[in-house]
Structure 1
Amino acid sequence: MIHILLFADLQEKVGKDQLELEEESISVKELKKKIKNEYGLLQLDQVMTAINEEYAMENDIVKSGDTVAFIPPVSGG
């Protein structure tokens, strides 16, 4: 199982701060596509992704037991 953490507007849109996905392994790109389709989170294209607290690229592989965080851009003020 892959644990997914959502922050800011992603969390608000889904209505919860965490998701769980039954996958053995999946690329970050495939994971984003799956979440976008299921929850309508089109803004996933602009977020940073971290796997187990380390920034990840689109082709990195997420494995069962990993924690993925989707971190939206921060706006200043």
Structure 2
Amino acid sequence: MAARLVFLGRLEDAAGMPEMAIEPGALEQVLARLDPALAVELLGERVRLALNGALLPETGGVILADGDELAFLPPVSGG
């Protein structure tokens, strides 16, 4: 099986796709297998992460298992 990365908003443009199947593992290992420019975008200070629909307070210690979905949410502006 695999885990899935989901890219929302401008991060979808940066990734060139709305989602990607990846080999499960620690977030650091997952990001190391991506294009370095994309990994930098995903680690942006204002990018939020949601694991299986729940927002994460921090990214440290995240380990993806088979079937997990990790969504990257860019900052949103509005008014």
Category of TM-score, reference length = shorter chain = 0.7 to 0.9
Structure 1 residue 48 displacement after superposition: 0.6
| 1:30–1:70 Cα change, 3 Å | same
RMSD value, Cα: 1.8
Paired with 1:48 and 1:33, the residues of 2 have a C-alpha distance of: 18
What amino acid maps onto 1:2 in structure 2? A
* Range 49-58 or range 39-48, more displaced: 39-48
The answer (yes or no) to whether the contact 1:4–1:67 under 8 Å persists in 2 is: yes
Structure 1 residue 51 displacement after superposition: 0.6
Instruction: State TM-score, norm by structure 1.
Output: 0.76
Give the fraction of aligned pairs with identical amino acids, expressed as a percent. 26
1:64 aligns with 2:66: yes
Q: What 5-or-longer segments of structure 2 have no aligned partner?
A: none
Instruction: State TM-score, norm by structure 2.
Output: 0.75
1:4-35 CA-to-partner distances (Å, cap 9, x unmatched) read: 11011111122210101022x32x34434443
* Structure with greater strand percent: 1
